[in-house]
Amino acid sequence: SSILYNDQIIERDNVVEIEDRGYQFGDGVYEVIGVYDGEPLLMDEHMKRLKRSAREIQLTLPVEVNQLRKKLEELVQVNGLEEGIIYLQVSRGVAPRWHEFPSTDTQAVTVAYTREEERDNELEDQGATAVLTKDIRWLRCDIKTLNLLPNVLAKQKAVENNAIEAILHRGDTVTEASASNVFIVKNGELYTHPADNYILNGITRQKILQLCDELELKAHEETFTVDELFDADEVFISATKMDIAPILQVDGKTIGNGTPGNVTKQLVKEFRKLYE
Ligand code: PDD
């Protein structure tokens, strides 16, 4: 298949330079964009977040996002992608390995590829289990950077316990999960961690909050504790392409009555309307 390499769509090949700062330092930012029926979903929101992430690490994007967006749409076309994702990353470029920023003439490197991935409707309808683990990440989790080692370790713990996600906590507070945001439902109202420096403000999360507004469901962007998580009526996680996954058990303890809850099901149904 083809990839986007800077401003050109080329055949996938070995394009990694050993002194790419993304490769050596995780010095760059990324996005994962869902593609449904050949159409990227919520592209504007992803481009907006990419711009913000780049700005927060003082990385100048080498291309204007409108142009980048067009290139990504072209890539989806060229690869004939129907269902899947676009992975996009921008690193601070290739330069001799010194920690500080390279000279100003170093060009950031943009790479994007597509991956086929069927939607997991079964997961959305049936739910899954999660584990709980300490959030050991830094204090700028709002930036979608390439540095994902703590997330990788957390997800591995989940997989080793036959769970789909690792829900993270800092002290008593639940932040998010290794690659998704976490919502709880109590007495018909939703709670999710506020979009501050402790979480990534998920595009799916933002959309769900908007849907709650439209459905007149009360949603609070407020922190909640580990005890409140276990005591919730419903728990679900959200992320690109997975969309919404009901969580029926955390660390072996059953949430609510152990089946996907009504609020979660209502949101699943509403979210599907965005692309069906
Ligand atoms: N992860 N929180 C973290 C830490 C994430 O990595 C992600 C997404 C989310 C959900 O964000 P969104 O709804 O915009 O996908 C929350 C992507 C999918 C990934 O790294 O593969």
User: For the chain, what are the domain ranges?
Assistant: 2-116, 121-272
Scanning the structure block, which residue is given the tokens 């990227």?
40
pLDDT tens profile 178-211: 999 999 999 999 999 999 999 999 999 999 999 9
Q: Is the pLDDT of residue 60 over 90?
A: yes
Q: Please state, in angstroms and as integers, the Cα–Cα distance from residue 183 to each residue in 60, 193, 207, 225, 238, following that order.
A: 34, 8, 13, 12, 8
202 lines ligand 1 (CB under 6 A): yes
CB distance 194 to 141 below 8 Å: no
Confidence band for 13, pLDDT divided at 50, 70 and 90: confident
| Structure token pair of residue 173 | 């507070």
User: Over 80: is that where the pLDDT of 250 sits?
Assistant: yes
> What is 106-172 written as a DSSP string?
PPPEEEEEEEE----HHHHHH-EEEEEEE----S-TTS-BS--HHHHHHHHHHHHTT-SEEEEEETT
Q: Is pLDDT at 245 greater than 80 in this prediction? A: yes
Q: What is the mean pLDDT of residues 72-93?
A: 98
Which residues contact residue 170 at a Cβ distance below 8 angstroms, ignoring those fewer than 6 apart? 134, 135, 198
- 250/146 Cα distance (integer angstroms): 28
Mean pLDDT of 49-72: 97
Q: Which of 176, 200, 204, 243 to mutate to test the pocket of ligand 1 (most atoms within 8 A of CB)?
A: 200
Q: What's the fold here for domain 121-272? A: D-amino Acid Aminotransferase; Chain A, domain 2 (3.20.10)
Cβ of 192 less than 6 Å from ligand 1:
no
Considering only the top CATH level, what class is 2-116? alpha beta
CA of 117 to the centre of ligand 1 (A): 16
Segment 88-92 shows an average pLDDT of 98
What is the chain's mean pLDDT, rounded?
97
Q: Residue 89: beta bridge partners? A: 30, 111
The reply to whether 144 belongs to the active site is: yes
Least confident of 5-19, 49-63, 136-150, 180-194: 5-19
Residue 179 Cα distances to 79, 143, 148, angstroms: 26, 13, 9
DSSP label of 75: H
d(CA 78, CA 208): 31
pLDDT score of 16: 83
User: DSSP code of 57?
Assistant: T
Q: What is the average pLDDT across 5-17? A: 88
Helix axes 203-214, 43-56, angle to 10 degrees: 130
Name the residue at shortest CA distance from atom 9 of ligand 1: 180
End-to-end CA distance of the chain: 26
Distance, in Å, from the CA atom of 198 to the CA atom of 154, rounded to the nearest integer, reads 16
φ and ψ at residue 166, rounded to 5 degrees: -110, 115
State the pTM of this model: 0.98
Q: How far is CA 3 from the centre of its chain?
A: 21
Q: Which residues pair with 181 in a beta bridge?
A: 238
Q: Using CA positions, which residue lies closest to atom 3 of ligand 1?
A: 179
